[in-house]
């Protein structure tokens, strides 16, 4: 196998080749969908939560290599974290965990952060609670 | 190492070994400046003029109508801006199509910012300019019509000879961007009725960094550069001698091999398109089904994104291209596919295979065997794909 274009780090290429946690979770406790097909990126992030801790996470993504890699990475990063800790995962942290992203692809990491926040927001909604943070705009308002 | 299959010849072609051989003496011992009066310079001058004649023959021009540039982009810029500056006192209206190369599109946009008016012709679903829309757009103030010979993304061939006939006897300059066709299709500036034509070396197995603008004798266009008398005072700057020699050699080889090569490549192209469309559901051929470049296959695969396809093909050693946003520094979907009426998400999911003379049946087999699995894998993780999609 080739290693792909040099503009992507080894970690990004690894996650594109072997994305982790693909697909929908059965009976998820939170789902976040961001982006839109016109922009070329749509991410759906799923979480399972038990006792305030995210026990599982998965994703579905329509997008470029960076979009796939950031989705895959954020599902890995979030598992085992409390909701509060998960909310502190920034887009930069996701990009850093992937060994960096080309500047033109940083928007993909923003999308991953937003998808996570949306999923947590949805979790609170399902619990009948108001999220303890400012809610994010509708996914269709995502912009590059 | 993974076997490599290069199917991105519309981006650039590998150099023909005979072209490299022709260039080498001019990178080594024959280093004179063709503007020098001594024999070291004049030997090189003679070689440059031979190459000019070779390039002229490729497009049916006279050698003194060929002006070397740094490539197709410069030629396109020169055609539009040079005409605009030279004819601004006659009119300030230009016409081009909505699917031109960025070198033309952005030159037109630049001129709009400088007081010119530009009409962008619509295209049909196959990317063809309607001749009647050209006729309707021309006004007494139209100084230039610029339409490409064939599109670089979808391969559709434009009715340039008909446009040329329409413009004949009008005081409107006709520019044809033939970067994708010269060396691949018979191109004749007189049959087309072109006043200006852009061509490029690295699209026909020649070197990068060399191109030419054909300027019909008697057509006046302003220079973009100042500072010397090279190229008959129209394009100053010491000549890219080795590039010019390589361009000339590539042009001559292309002419002699074009007919046989076109037949061979067309058969490969048709098999690739037919098999991919048959094996992968929800796939659509972009561009005209028959009036297209012999080497171009451009397909939209619903529910997947183009760069991901290109990456996964790359992992398998197959090099292709996409007009989709994330393939380049631009995030916009292909303006060409949108102009053809494709949805943005389908435009994002397009991939272009452009074949070349070093491709064979085995290369086509590899794509046919590899791509369906990649599309299936990406659709499995796409939130847009229906559950049953493969």
Tens digit of pLDDT for each residue in B214-248?
A: 999 999 999 999 999 999 999 999 999 999 999 99
Tens digit of pLDDT for each residue in B69-117?
A: 999 999 999 999 999 999 999 999 999 999 999 999 999 999 999 999 9
pTM value? 0.93
Residue B100 near residue B158 (C-beta atoms within 8 A): no
Tens digit of pLDDT for each residue in B310-348?
A: 999 999 999 999 864 444 555 678 899 999 999 988 899
Section B188-201 average pLDDT: 98
State the ipTM, two decimals.
0.91
Q: How far is B42 from chain A (nearest CA, A)?
A: 44
Residue B347 near residue B337 (C-beta atoms within 8 A): yes
B333 and A CB contact within 8 Å? yes
Lowest mean pLDDT among A126-140, B40-54, B290-304: A126-140
Q: Fill in the DSSP letter of residue A116.
A: H
Whether residues B304 and A62 touch (CB distance < 8 A) is answered with yes
Distance of CA B167 to the CA centre of its chain: 23
Residue B330 has a pLDDT of 56
Q: Which single residue is written with the structure tokens 């310079």?
A: B41
The greatest distance separating any two alpha carbons of chain B, rounded to the nearest whole angstrom, comes to 75
Residue B199 near residue B211 (C-beta atoms within 8 A): yes
Residue B331 has a pLDDT of 63
Q: What angle do CA B45, B65, B135 make, to 5 degrees?
A: 160
**DSSP characters over B240-292:** -HHHHHHHHHHHHHHHHHHHHHHHHHHHHHHHHHHHHHHHSSSEEE-S-SSSB
Could you tell me whether strands B318-319 and B5-6 are parallel, antiparallel, or unpaired per DSSP bridges? parallel
Chain A residues near residue B385 by CB distance under 8 angstroms: 62
Which two tokens mark A66? 């960076």
Q: Long-range contact list for B104-107, CB < 8 A, 24+ apart?
A: B104/B76, B104/B79, B104/B80, B104/B146, B104/B148, B104/B177, B105/B335, B107/B76, B107/B77, B107/B79, B107/B80, B107/B81
Active site residues of A: 39, 108
pLDDT band of B388, cuts 50, 70, 90: very low
Whether residues B326 and A39 touch (CB distance < 8 A) is answered with no
């Amino acid at each position: 196998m080739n290693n792909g274009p040099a503009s992507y780090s080894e970690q990004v290429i690894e996650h594109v080749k072997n994305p982790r946690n693909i697909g929908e979770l059965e009976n998820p406790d939170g789902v976040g969908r961001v982006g839109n097909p016109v922009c070329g990126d749509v991410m759906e992030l799923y979480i399972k939560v038990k006792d305030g801790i995210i026990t599982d996470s998965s994703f579905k993504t329509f997008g470029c290599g960076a979009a796939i890699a950031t989705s895959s990475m954020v599902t890995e990063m979030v598992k085992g974290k409390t909701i509060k800790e998960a909310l502190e995962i920034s887009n930069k942290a996701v990009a850093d965990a992937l060994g960096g992203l080309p500047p033109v692809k940083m928007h993909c990491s923003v999308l991953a952060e937003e998808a996570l926040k949306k999923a947590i927001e949805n979790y609170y909604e399902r619990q009948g609670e108001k999220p303890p943070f400012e809610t994010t705009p509708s996914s269709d308002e995502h912009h590059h | 190492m993974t076997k490599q299959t290069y199917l991105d010849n519309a981006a650039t072609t590998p150099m023909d070994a005979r072209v490299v051989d022709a260039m080498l003496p001019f990178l080594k011992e024959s280093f004179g400046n063709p503007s020098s009066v001594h024999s070291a310079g004049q030997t090189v001058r003679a070689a440059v003029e031979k190459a000019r004649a070779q390039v002229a023959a490729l497009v049916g021009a006279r050698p003194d109508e060929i002006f070397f540039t740094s490539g197709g982009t410069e030629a396109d810029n020169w055609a539009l801006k040079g005409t605009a500056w030279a004819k601004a006192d006659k009119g300030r209206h230009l016409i081009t199509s909505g699917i031109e190369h960025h070198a033309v599109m952005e030159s037109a946009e630049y001129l709009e910012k400088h007081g010119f008016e530009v009409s962008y012709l619509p295209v049909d679903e196959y990317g063809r300019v309607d001749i009647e829309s050209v006729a309707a757009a021309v006004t007494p103030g139209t100084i230039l019509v610029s339409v490409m010979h064939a599109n670089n993304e979808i391969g559709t061939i434009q009715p340039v000879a008909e446009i040329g006939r329409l413009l004949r006897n009008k005081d409107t300059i006709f520019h044809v961007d033939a970067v994708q066709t010269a060396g691949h299709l018979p191109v004749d500036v007189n049959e087309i009725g072109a006043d200006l034509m852009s061509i490029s070396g690295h699209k026909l197995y020649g070197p990068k960094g060399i191109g030419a603008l054909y300027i019909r004798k008697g057509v006046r266009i302003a220079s973009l550069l100042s500072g010397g008398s090279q190229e008959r005072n129209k394009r100053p700057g010491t000549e890219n001698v080795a590039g010019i020699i390589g361009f000339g050699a590539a042009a001559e080889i292309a002419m002699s091999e074009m007919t046989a090569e076109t037949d061979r490549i067309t058969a490969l192209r048709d098999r690739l398109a037919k098999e991919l469309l048959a094996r992968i559901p929800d796939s659509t051929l972009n561009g005209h089904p028959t009036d297209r470049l012999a080497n171009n296959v451009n397909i939209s695969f619903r529910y997947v994104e183009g760069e991901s396809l290109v990456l996964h093909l790359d992992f398998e050693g197959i090099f292709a291209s996409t007009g989709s946003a994330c393939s380049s520094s631009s995030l916009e979907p292909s303006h060409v596919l949108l102009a053809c009426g494709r949805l943005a998400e389908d435009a994002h999911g397009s991939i272009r295979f452009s074949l070349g003379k070093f491709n064979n049946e085995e290369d086509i087999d590899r794509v046919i065997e590899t791509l369906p699995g990649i599309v299936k894998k990406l659709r499995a993780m796409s939130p847009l794909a229906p559950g049953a999609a493969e």
